[in-house]
Amino acid sequence: MSDCDQCAYYYYDEDYEDYLCSADIDEDDYARMMQEGGLHRQRCPYWVNGDEYSVVRHQAF
């Protein structure tokens, strides 16, 4: 599982029948991330935890 699979910006688009990133990344930022080693080698600066239960999970018994 990649970091994208857990990101809040990662969603399934029925028109494309594929998963897409909806983060507001411009071309310059995307090119910089690719030059630094790609999205999967480093943490994406736009990554947001999509797990809404992560805040309260420590309270579970």
Residues with Cβ within 8 Å of 37's Cβ and at least 6 positions away in sequence, in order, are none
pLDDT (mean) for 5-20: 92
pLDDT, greater one: 6 or 1: 6
At residue 57, the 3 state secondary structure works out as helix
Place 50 in a pLDDT band, splitting at 50, 70 and 90: confident
pLDDT at 17: 96
37: left (phi over 0), alpha (psi -120 to 50) or beta: left
Q: Report the C-alpha gap between 40 and 4 in whole angstroms.
A: 8
Tell me: pLDDT of 10 over 80: yes
pTM: predicted TM-score of the whole model, two decimal places? 0.64
| In the chain, where the domains are located | 3-49
pLDDT at 16 > cutoff 80: yes
Percent of the chain with pLDDT over 70: 77
